[in-house]
Chain A
C-alpha cells in the first residue's frame, strides 16, 4: 500500500511538473529533435547553450551531455554569434536563436530558430548541412534554406 502511495505521489509530481512547464517541455522536444537530426550517429553528443530561449533545456533533457566549454561541444545553441569565441564557430555545428544572427552569418551557422510573422520557425542551412555531410529526411526539406 505504501509503495502504491509513493507511485501515485510520484506520478502526480510529474503531472504537475509537466503541466506547469508546458512551454519548456515543447522547447525541450524541439531541441531534442534538432540534436537528433544533426547528430544521428553520435551516441555521446555534447551540447553548449548560451541562449535565453533554451537556457532551461538541461533541466528537461537528460539524454545529452551539456558542457560549459564551447570547444568540447558538438552542437552549440547561441543567441549572439559575436559573443562566441572564434575557435568555437568553425568546425562546430552552431544553431542561432535570433533572426538577425542567422541573416548575418549564413555562411557560419547550420540552422536557426526564431520567430517570423508571429510564428516560431526553424531553418536548416543547406550550405552548412552539405559541409558537414548531413542529409535530413525528405519530410524536413521544407525547413532547408
Chain B
C-alpha cells in the first residue's frame, strides 16, 4: 500500500515537474546532472577543481593558459624560452615533477624533459570536454609518476558530439587559428577526429638592439576510436617556437629557434563492471634547438682555469621514445571495503643526437635509458554512508643505465573523508619522493649524484554544500627536503641542504543563480618559509568569474589578481568572452584577454661577462593583451 502511495505521489511530482518547466530548462538541467565531470571526478583523491564542458564552452577557451592563470597557489609564468613554467625562477632548472598533465589516462610528456605544460599550455583545447585539477600535493593519482599538482584533461565523448565543427578565429598581432573536429557515434563504435593549426603571434619585446619574439606555430591532430571495452588513440603534434631570449647570457640572441615533434599511439581497455583497466602506449618525441649570439650566448663550466668556457652558438637535437603499460584491477570486498591494485612498466630511451657548443661536441652522453617498475595499492573502507578512510601506497623502482645510480621512490597517503548532504570534510597526510628527471641527471653527470627530493604534506578541506552553492576552505602544509636547484656560482645542480616549508590557504565559493548564471570567487594566500625563517612575503591571489546568459548571448567575465614576491610585483587581469548564437549551427564570438594590459609581469635576467654586471629585462608581460574574433560552424 505504502509503495503504491509513494509511486503515485512520485508520478504526480514528475507530472508537475514536467508541466512546470519548459523543454529548454529540462534539457539544460539534464546537461548539468549528466555532465561527464560528474563521472570522472575523484573526490577522494584530494582537493579538486573542475571546469565543466559548459564552463569551457562559455569561456570559448583557446588554451590551458587561460585556466593556469587562475590556478590557486600559483601565478602564470614563462621561462626564458617563452614557454609555460609556473615555477620559473631565473637561472634555475624547471621543476619538472611539480605539475603534471594528463590527457585522459595518458601522461602528456616526453621521456626527457618531463614538463609537459611547456608544450601543451598554449595548444588548442577543442577536443577536450572538461578539466579536473587536483591540487595540494596529496592529490596523487595512483598509477602515474608522482606529481604535486595534477591537471587532467578529458577528451570529448563522441557519442555526445555527433557533429562536424569548424572553428576559425583571428586576432591581435596577426594570430590565426583553424580547428576542425568530427565526432560521431557509429552503428558499432564511435570516433573523434581533430585537427588544429594555430599561428600564435605574441607581443614582441624590444631589448637594446634586438626584437625578441615568442611566436609559436602548432599543428596538432588527434584521433580516437572506441569499440566495446577497447579504445585506440593516435596523437601527433608539431610545434615551432621563437624562444624569446633563448637563455642567451646577454639576453640578445641573434638567431634562435626550437622545434618539437610529439607522437603517441595507444590501446586502452576498460571494463567498469569487472574493474579491469589496462593500457599500452608508445610515445616518440623529437626536439631541435638552434641558438646563436654575436657576443656570448652562454658559458660551460670547466675544471681548470679560467673555469668557464664561453660559446657563441648551440646546436641541439634530442629524441626520446617511451613504451609504457599499466594493468589495474578494482575489487569490492564486501559492502564496505574496496581495493585497487595495479602495476606499471615503463621503458624510456633518450639520446642527445647533436649537442654542440661551437666546436665542442657533447652529444651521445653515456646515460640514455631509464626503466621503471611500479606497484600500487589503494584501499578504502566505508564505515557508514558518510565516513570513509583511504590508504594509498606506491613504490617505484627506477633502473638507470650508464654511470647513474638506480632510484627508489615511495608514496604514502592516508586520508579520511566525511561526506554528508551539507558538509564535506577531507583530511590527508602524504609523503612522496621525487627523483631527478633524466635531463637533470644528464646535466649532473660530470658532477655530484643528485638525491631524490622529499615531500611531506598535511591537508584539510572543509566544504559546505547547498542546492545552489558550494563553499570550500582548503589548507595545506608542505615540507620539501633536498629540492634540486642550480648553484649559480658552481654552475651545477645540487640538492638544497635545508628544508622549505609552505603553508597555503584557499577559500572558494561558487554560486549558481540559475541554470545559466553562475559566479565563482576564490582567494588564496601562500606563506613560504625557508629553513623555518620567512623566505619572502606572503603570496596572494584572488579571482572572480561570472558566467551569464541573456537571450542568444553568453557572457564570461573574469578578474584575476596576483600579488607575488617583491621582485615579481602584482597585477590584475580582466578577460571576457561574448558569444552570440546566431542560429543552432552558427556562433560568433569575441574574446579579450588582459584587456587593460595590467596582468602580473616577469623580470628576466642575464649577465654581462665583460662588465661583471647583472642585466635586467624588466616587466615583460607573459599574458599578452589581445583580442580575438571567431566563428564556429556546425555542419
Query: In the complex, are the beta carbons of B10 and A60 less than 8 A apart?
Result: yes
Query: In the complex, are the beta carbons of B23 and A26 less than 8 A apart?
Result: no
Query: In the complex, are the beta carbons of B129 and A118 less than 8 A apart?
Result: yes
Query: In the complex, are the beta carbons of A118 and B15 less than 8 A apart?
Result: no
**How distant is B40 from chain A, measured CB to nearest CB, in Å?**
14
Q: How far is the CA of A121 from the CA of B257 in the complex (A)?
A: 47
Query: In the complex, are the beta carbons of A22 and B33 less than 8 A apart?
Result: yes
Query: In the complex, are the beta carbons of A25 and B14 less than 8 A apart?
Result: yes
Query: In the complex, are the beta carbons of B33 and A115 less than 8 A apart?
Result: no
Is B159 on the interface with A (CB-CB < 8 A)? Answer: yes
Q: How far is the CA of A61 from the CA of B185 in the complex (A)?
A: 29
CB-based A-B contact count at 8 angstroms:
100
Query: In the complex, are the beta carbons of B162 and A115 less than 8 A apart?
Result: yes
Query: In the complex, are the beta carbons of B11 and A121 less than 8 A apart?
Result: no
- Contacts A32-B18, A60-B11 hold; do A100 and B184 have CB atoms under 8 A apart? yes
Is A5 on the interface with B (CB-CB < 8 A)? Answer: no
Query: In the complex, are the beta carbons of B186 and A28 less than 8 A apart?
Result: no
Is A116 on the interface with B (CB-CB < 8 A)? Answer: yes
Q: How far is the CA of A123 from the CA of B176 in the complex (A)?
A: 35
Please pick, from A61, A98, A118, A140, the residue contacting B11 in the complex, using a CB distance under 8 A: A61
Query: In the complex, are the beta carbons of A118 and B160 less than 8 A apart?
Result: yes
Is A68 on the interface with B (CB-CB < 8 A)? Answer: no
Query: In the complex, are the beta carbons of B34 and A120 less than 8 A apart?
Result: yes
Closest to A116 in B: B162
Is A114 on the interface with B (CB-CB < 8 A)? Answer: yes
Q: How far is the CA of A32 from the CA of B53 in the complex (A)?
A: 27
Query: In the complex, are the beta carbons of B34 and A116 less than 8 A apart?
Result: no
Q: Which residues of A contact B9 (CB under 8 A)?
A: 10, 14
Query: In the complex, are the beta carbons of B33 and A23 less than 8 A apart?
Result: yes
Is B156 on the interface with A (CB-CB < 8 A)? Answer: yes
Contact flags (1/0) for A49-93 with B, using CB distance below 8 Å?
000000000001111000000000000000000000000000000
Q: Which residues of A contact B29 (CB under 8 A)?
A: 26
Query: In the complex, are the beta carbons of B159 and A115 less than 8 A apart?
Result: yes
Q: How far is the CA of A113 from the CA of B34 in the complex (A)?
A: 14
Contact flags (1/0) for A110-130 with B, using CB distance below 8 Å?
000011111111100000000
Query: In the complex, are the beta carbons of B11 and A99 less than 8 A apart?
Result: no
Q: Which residues of A contact B11 (CB under 8 A)?
A: 60-63
Q: Which residues of A contact B33 (CB under 8 A)?
A: 22-23, 26
Contact flags (1/0) for B1-45 with A, using CB distance below 8 Å?
010011111110111011001110011011101100000000000
Task: State which size class the interface on B falls in.
Answer: 35 or more
Is A8 on the interface with B (CB-CB < 8 A)? Answer: no
Q: How far is the CA of A119 from the CA of B163 in the complex (A)?
A: 11
Query: In the complex, are the beta carbons of A62 and B26 less than 8 A apart?
Result: no
Query: In the complex, are the beta carbons of A122 and B185 less than 8 A apart?
Result: no
Is B187 on the interface with A (CB-CB < 8 A)? Answer: yes
Is B634 on the interface with A (CB-CB < 8 A)? Answer: yes
Q: Which residues of A contact B185 (CB under 8 A)?
A: 98-100
Task: State which size class the interface on A falls in.
Answer: 35 or more
Q: Which residues of A contact B184 (CB under 8 A)?
A: 99-100
Q: How far is the CA of A139 from the CA of B10 in the complex (A)?
A: 27
Query: In the complex, are the beta carbons of A10 and B5 less than 8 A apart?
Result: yes
Query: In the complex, are the beta carbons of B31 and A30 less than 8 A apart?
Result: no
Please pick, from B5, B23, B57, the residue contacting A122 in the complex, using a CB distance under 8 A: B23
Q: How far is the CA of A115 from the CA of B159 in the complex (A)?
A: 7
Contact flags (1/0) for B153-187 with A, using CB distance below 8 Å?
00010011111010000000000000000001111
Query: In the complex, are the beta carbons of A30 and B6 less than 8 A apart?
Result: no
Q: How far is the CA of A32 from the CA of B13 in the complex (A)?
A: 12
Q: Which residues of B contact A61 (CB under 8 A)?
A: 11, 14
- Contacts A25-B14, A100-B187 hold; do A117 and B163 have CB atoms under 8 A apart? yes
Query: In the complex, are the beta carbons of B23 and A13 less than 8 A apart?
Result: no
Q: Which residues of B contact A25 (CB under 8 A)?
A: 13-14, 17
Q: Which residues of A contact B31 (CB under 8 A)?
A: 118-120
Q: How far is the CA of A117 from the CA of B158 in the complex (A)?
A: 9
Q: Which residues of B contact A32 (CB under 8 A)?
A: 14-15, 18
Query: In the complex, are the beta carbons of B10 and A116 less than 8 A apart?
Result: no
**How distant is B111 from chain A, measured CB to nearest CB, in Å?**
34
Q: How far is the CA of A139 from the CA of B22 in the complex (A)?
A: 10
Q: Which residues of A contact B5 (CB under 8 A)?
A: 10
- Contacts A10-B5, A61-B14 hold; do A26 and B160 have CB atoms under 8 A apart? no
Query: In the complex, are the beta carbons of A30 and B27 less than 8 A apart?
Result: yes
**How distant is A77 from chain B, measured CB to nearest CB, in Å?**
15
Closest to B18 in A: A29
Q: How far is the CA of A26 from the CA of B6 in the complex (A)?
A: 18
Q: How far is the CA of A33 from the CA of B24 in the complex (A)?
A: 12
Closest to A22 in B: B33
**How distant is B569 from chain A, measured CB to nearest CB, in Å?**
39
Is A18 on the interface with B (CB-CB < 8 A)? Answer: yes
Closest to A143 in B: B23
Query: In the complex, are the beta carbons of A10 and B14 less than 8 A apart?
Result: no
Is A134 on the interface with B (CB-CB < 8 A)? Answer: no
Please pick, from B17, B18, B30, B634, the residue contacting A117 in the complex, using a CB distance under 8 A: B634
Contact flags (1/0) for B92-129 with A, using CB distance below 8 Å?
00000000000000000000000000000000000001
Query: In the complex, are the beta carbons of A118 and B14 less than 8 A apart?
Result: no
Q: How far is the CA of A100 from the CA of B163 in the complex (A)?
A: 11
Closest to B186 in A: A100
Nearest 7 Cβ contacts at the A-B interface: A62-B11, A29-B18, A115-B160, A99-B162, A32-B18, A118-B53, A116-B162
Which residues of A does B touch, CB under 8 Å? 10, 13-14, 17-18, 22-23, 25-30, 32-33, 36, 60-63, 98-100, 114-122, 139-140, 142-143
Query: What are 30 of the A-B contact pairs (CB < 8 Å)?
Result: A14-B10, A17-B6, A17-B10, A18-B10, A29-B14, A29-B18, A29-B26, A30-B26, A32-B14, A32-B15, A32-B18, A33-B26, A36-B18, A61-B11, A62-B10, A62-B11, A63-B11, A99-B159, A100-B162, A100-B187, A115-B160, A117-B161, A117-B162, A117-B163, A118-B57, A118-B129, A118-B160, A120-B27, A120-B31, A140-B23
